[in-house]
């Protein structure tokens, strides 16, 4: 599985197939356009998924800090017999795998799908602070 660098420490995986379909055949897939950026509160992942219903979407938190986004965009408005002059819109199964840098808490992530965009807000991980207390003997 190849990966391409998105920023200083975020990687997106580019696999060539989605796992086997119900009929046992392996199906190719496409990768949606994705933006990943850092804010003062955490990481924001924005995925362009127009024409998709939220029930056709899966967001899976995997081992480590890996996030898998997959689903299927149906082509429900294509005429039965047609010859394309231009075809730039991807349909069918899609998948994107993001390797997030350390310091973000995927277990607290919140996802929203609105107007064709999936937005996932991943907060900064809670920092463990050491409390320095003085004992009665001055140490």
- pLDDT at res. 61: 94
In contact, 123 and 65? CB cutoff 8 Å: no
Helix (H, G, I), strand (E, B) or coil at 70: strand
Q: Is residue 97 part of a domain?
A: yes
Q: Is residue 131 part of a domain?
A: no
Length of the chain: 139
Q: Is residue 48 part of a domain?
A: yes
Residue-range definition of the domain harbouring residue 105: 2-16+27-75+87-123
Q: Is residue 82 part of a domain?
A: no
If one counts the domains in the chain, the total is 1
Query: Residue 105 belongs to a domain with what CATH number?
Result: 2.60.40.790
E strand map for the chain: 2-5, 11-14, 17-18, 27-28, 34-38, 42-48, 57-62, 66-73, 92-99, 110-114, 117-123
In contact, 67 and 106? CB cutoff 8 Å: yes
Q: Is residue 52 part of a domain?
A: yes
Share of the chain above pLDDT 90, in %: 55
- pLDDT at res. 15: 41
Which DSSP letter does residue 88 get?
A: -
Q: Is residue 134 part of a domain?
A: no
| Across 27-37, average pLDDT | 89
| Across 97-111, average pLDDT | 94
Q: Is residue 95 part of a domain?
A: yes
Q: Is residue 136 part of a domain?
A: no
User: Model confidence at 19, in pLDDT bands (50, 70, 90)?
Assistant: very low
């Amino acid at each position: 599985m190849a990966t391409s660098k998105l920023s200083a420490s975020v990687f997106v995986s580019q696999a060539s197939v989605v796992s086997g379909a119900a009929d046992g055949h392996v199906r190719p897939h496409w990768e949606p356009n994705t933006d990943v950026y850092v804010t003062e509160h955490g990481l924001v992942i924005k995925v362009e998924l127009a024409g998709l219903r939220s029930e056709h979407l899966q967001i899976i938190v995997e081992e480590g800090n890996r996030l898998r986004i997959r689903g299927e965009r149906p082509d429900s408005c294509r005429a039965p017999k047609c010859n394309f002059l231009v075809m730039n819109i991807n349909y069918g199964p899609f998948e994107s795998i993001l390797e997030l840098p350390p310091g973000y808490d995927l277990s607290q992530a919140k996802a929203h799908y609105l107007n064709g965009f999936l937005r996932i807000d991943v907060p900064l991980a809670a920092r463990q602070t050491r409390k320095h207390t003085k004992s009665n003997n001055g140490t």
